[in-house]
Amino acid sequence: MPDYAIKTSGLTVEFGNNIILDNINVEIENGDFVAIVGPNGSGKTTFLKALLSIVKPSSGEIKIFGKELDKIKPGEIGYVPQIKTIDRSFPANSIELVLSGVRNRWLGVKSREDKKLALHALELVGAADYARKQISELSGGQLQRVYLARCFASNPKLLLLDEPATGVDLVCESTINELIEEFNKKRGVTVLMVTHDWTAAYHHTNKVMLLNKQLIYYGNKNEAFTELNLMKTFSHLGHKHKVTFGLKSYE
């Protein structure tokens, strides 16, 4: 196996006549914990969706674990979508959502072992109480936890997280961060996490990707948040007011 988890070459995505991702060349090593940072509409979710084959690139190439995307087995990639944008009208309860990540299908008979596996994963993330609730009835934070349980149960090698801590309470946020760190440090899972919280990004991850249609920066987190990099990433769309960049102090 190559020592990188993800390699993109000239990755370009267009919707209609709009270029959303422009010639992204990046190599992400196995075991890295990457924060993806950029303004609204900068292509962060689209980048994750391209890795998941949900969005088709107009040009360029993506390899994950050295393989073409159609050779990736179900369960190799865990995904927690951006909760506020997903359609959750689909009739399923938490257990079924967890098992959809393990068996890669929604319907069919669930064995006792399956239910045990799903319940165990839900317990790990503190979501056992709403195991039989419909996903349409869960709060955003509860649904985040169920999606994390889904990842836990499927044992992925790569974890793609789209704002996993946005809109959840502080206790839930620290649980989520601990769970993600466990994936990364104890299980050696490569993690890509979209976040608007630069401070969390700085403290939890080891690499940072600054994105604004183009790749502004990819590398060590210590050199990422320079004034110049942040200006290039965020100064756009004719901001009239002065924006001061920097990290909040963090205990």
Ligand X SMILES: Nc1ncnc2c1ncn2[C@@H]1O[C@H](COP(=O)(O)OP(=O)(O)OP(=O)(O)O)[C@@H](O)[C@H]1O
* Residue 38 binding result from ligand X, Mg ion, none, given CB thresholds of 5 to 8 Å by partner type: ligand X
Query: What is the C-alpha to C-alpha distance for residues 38 and 24, in angstroms, rounded to an integer?
Result: 14
Nearest Cα residue to 12 out of 215, 194, 231, 208? 215
* Residue 20 binding result from ligand X, Mg ion, none, given CB thresholds of 5 to 8 Å by partner type: ligand X
CB 75 within 8 A of CB 156: yes
x/- map, 79-118, Mg ion, by CB under 5 A: ---x------------------------------------
Beta bridge partners of 64: 6, 67
Nearer to ligand X, 154 or 233 (CB): 233
Residue 38 lies near ligand X (rule: CB under 6 A): yes
Residue 43 lies near ligand X (rule: CB under 6 A): yes
Residue 42 lies near Mg ion (rule: CB under 5 A): no
Question: Phi-psi region for residue 53, left (φ > 0), alpha (ψ -120 to 50) or beta?
Answer: left
Residue 41 lies near ligand X (rule: CB under 6 A): yes
**End-to-end alpha-carbon separation of the chain, Å?**
39
Nearer to ligand X, 48 or 119 (CB): 48
Residue 233 lies near Mg ion (rule: CB under 5 A): no
Q: Which of 28, 37, 45, 192 binds ligand X (CB under 6 A)?
A: 45
Q: What is the closest distance, in whole angstroms, from the C-beta atom of residue 233 to Mg ion in the complex?
A: 15
Q: Which of 11, 26, 36, 45 binds Mg ion (CB under 5 A)?
A: 45
Nearest Cα residue to 62 out of 123, 18, 8? 8
Note the helical H segments in 188-249: 198-204, 227-234
- The C-alpha angle 194, 196, 134, rounded to 5 degrees, equals 65
Binding footprint of ligand X on the chain (CB under 6 A) = 15, 20, 38, 40-46, 82
Binding footprint of Mg ion on the chain (CB under 5 A) = 44-45, 82
